[in-house]
Each structure stands twice: as C-alpha cells, then as structure tokens.
Amino acid sequence: MNDALLRELVPAVIGILVRRGADFASAEDAVQEALIRALEHWPADPPRDPKGWLVAAAWRKFLDAARSESSRRGRELAVDAEPAPGPAADTDDTLRLYFLCAHPTLPAGSAVALTLRAVGGLTTRQIAAAYLVPEATMAQRISRAKKKLEGRSFDRSGDLGTVLRVLYLVFNEGYGGDVDLAAEAIRLTRQLAALTAEPEVAGLLALMLLHHARRASRTGPAGRLVPLAAQDRSRWDTGLIAEGVDILQHALARDRLGEYQAQAAIAALHADAPSTDETDWVQIVEWYDELLRLTDSPVVRLNRAVAVGEADGARAGLAALAEVSPDLPRHRAVAAYLHERDGDLKRAAALYAEASRVAASVAERDHLAREAARVRQLL
C-alpha cells in the first residue's frame, strides 16, 4: 500500500467523519479500523476511489461502535444514516484538523503530539523519540489528549502558535529522513498563509522554503552530514530561495516581528552569501539578538555564540558560549568548533569526541567522530 497516499487520505477522512458528527477520538479510531480492512482487501481488489472507500468503511465502523456503546448505555445514536453513495467530497479538512488538535483545552505539548500522530502521520514511537520519553508515556499522553476532545467538533479555533509549532515540527521530522513530511508541511503552511494575513505564518513559510532550498546539499554519500561551510551552494534551489525571501520581505513590512520571521531572516542571510566567509555575520548576530528578545531560548544563545565567533573571533564566541548551560545538546560540538578556530586543537579534538558520544543521531555521531579524527591529525 502506498504510504504517501494514506498520509494524504487519513486526515481528510477523519475530517469528513468529524463533519458528520463523530467526535475526534472516535473518528480516528474508526479510520484506523478502516485502514486495517484496507490492508486486507486493497492488494487483491484496489478500489477505484480510495478516499470514498475509506470514508464508507470508517463511517460504518463509527456507527457500529456508536450503536454498541448506545446499547450498552441505553442511549440513542444521534446520527445513523449511511453516507450517500458515490465519490467522497473533494474537501481538504487537514488544516481544520490541525486547529482541532490545537484545541484551547489541550496543553501545547499534548496538542503537538496529538497532531503529529493524527494528522502528520507519525507513529507514537517516532513522537516519543522526538520528545526523548518512553513510547508508553507518549501513548498515554496522546490517549489523554484524545479523551479531552471527546464530543468536540470544529466549533472552536485552536491556538495559531501551537499550529505553527506543529507545522515546523512536522517539517523538521520530515527533514530528518525517517518520514518525509517536509513537502507536506510546506503544502499545509501555504494553505494556512492563504487563509490569514498573520505575518508569522508567512515567516514560517519563508523559513521552510529557505531551509528546503538547501536540502540536496545537506547530506553526502551514505547519508553523511555536510556542514553549512562545506555545502555545494550550486546545488541550492535558487527558485525556492527567491520565493522565500520575497515572502519574508512582505511579512517584515507588516512590522509585527515574530520568531519565525527572525529565523527566516537569518536563513535568508545564509542563502544570500556566496560562501561562509562572505556571510554577513554581524547582521546575523543582530537577528539572533532579536530572537533572544522574543524567545530567550537557550538554543538561540548557543547558535548566537557560533555567529559571534564568526563575526568577532573565536575568543568572543567562547565568551558568549560561557553564558550557555553546558548541559544543552550540541554545546560540546559548538565548543569544539570555537576552540579549533582559536587554535587549541588538543581541546577541540577532545570536545569533538565527547560530543560524538552524546550525539542525538547516528549521522551526527559519525560526523563528530570524523571531526575529532581530522583535528587529531593536525596536532
């Protein structure tokens, strides 16, 4: 079965069931049951209208479950008509589902996890890995979030900030290569940008496009990470860069700066530079200062230290790094890079090796191990 097709159909089918009166949790359960039937029947007898088939099968599962519950509790089922035959309506409810998952009654973390599971197509295991928690813990979190949405429909808007965080998480998860959702995140963000003049939505879209433009150059043979300074900039997608910069300029002109616009401005400065040495690092530091004002994020402080090291020298970068907690992921890697630029190769090699041992991914671990070996050869 085509995973990409299912990823596209599942949120649409859930949306149709919710429109017909199903609560979110029951709709998702019914669609999962329909998917099991599809796995059993489609290989031998593929339907002409996959979406219509899933809608009909899921709706029957929902009605069966609701009737069973009604009998058990002695209640009447409010809706029990079969859907009219024929193709399913060509309506994309995916963004509406994003807002439902970002319902005001849900904590932001639960909303993100639930949306990644129900709309983004990620498994509970993948979401748990992203949050660095056991899979059982994440399953309970998602289950509690679904219970909070029982009886809810599309009657109240969710929080736009949560929706944007979800979209960016989906984009980054797709970028990791385990599940390629980057293009889907861009598609959904384009839709959202067409529905609202909120500059942060445009800022997020610009940020995604600018990052996506560099995708082909970020990895080498066998999936090896290629750092920004070593990337082949001739492989960057200039069309996406131009579109991202144009969208960003229009967003900034509205004079309501947000964190995604600031991040996109940094990405645009990188995209505009012919090389690392020709990058406007002074202006990048200024944008990181704006980001700190908006977010006060430790990760922003860490990235700012790198930019300060490029703009004002490695010693200045190390001084900025001293203000960041050493427990932060990538702290050792940044320290190694700055010590190498400062000429302390022995310390740099040791820090690269330490960073490799605590890396969050195999690709990052291998990259840092190679950096440690490279610097040792310079001693």
Shared domain check, 211 and 124: no
Q: Are both 7 and 35 inside the same structural domain?
A: yes
Residue 87 domain-assigned (yes or no)? no
The answer to whether residues 101 and 111 touch, using CB atoms and an 8 Å cutoff, is yes
Same domain, 268 and 286: no
- Domain contains 192: no
**Domain enclosing residue 287, as ranges:** 280-323
- Higher confidence at residue 258 or residue 155? 258
182 token code pair: 């980057």
pLDDT band at 54 (very low <50, low <70, confident <90, very high): very high
One domain for residues 140 and 213: no
Kindly state whether residue 370 falls inside one of the protein's structural domains: yes
Q: Are residues 263 and 286 in the same domain?
A: no
> H or E element: which one contains 328?
none
Q: Cα(168)–Cα(48) distance, rounded to whole angstroms?
A: 34
User: What phi and psi values does residue 102 have, to the nearest 5 degrees?
Assistant: -95, 35
Q: How many domains does the chain have?
A: 4
Q: 164 lies in a domain?
A: yes
Residue 336 located in a structural domain: yes
pLDDT in tens, 82-121: 554 444 555 567 777 888 888 878 887 888 888 887 777 6
Same domain? For 120 and 35 the reply is yes
Alpha-carbon dihedral 135, 141, 147, 153, rounded to 10 degrees: -100
114 and 240 together in one domain = no
Q: Please tell me the predicted confidence (pLDDT) of residue 80.
A: 47
167 pLDDT above the threshold of 50: yes
Q: State whether 366 and 222 are in the same domain.
A: no
Cβ pair 151, 179 in contact under 8 A: no
Q: Are residues 36 and 114 in the same domain?
A: yes
Mark whether 319 and 334 lie in a shared domain. no
Q: Which residue has the tokens 């900034």?
A: 252
One domain for residues 241 and 372: no
pTM: 0.79
pLDDT digits (tens, 9 = 90+) for 320-340: 999 999 999 899 999 999 999
What percentage of the chain has pLDDT greater than the value 90? 53
Question: Do 205 and 258 fall within a single domain?
Answer: yes
Segment 1-14 mean pLDDT:
74
Query: For the stretch 299-335, what's the b/e string if a residue is b when 16 or more beta carbons lie within 10 angstroms of its beta carbon?
Result: ebbbbbbbbbbbbeebebbbebbeebeeeeebbbbbb
Q: What is the pLDDT of residue 300?
A: 97
* Angle, helix 135-148 to helix 108-118, in steps of 10 degrees: 100
Highest mean pLDDT among 38-52, 170-184, 332-346: 332-346
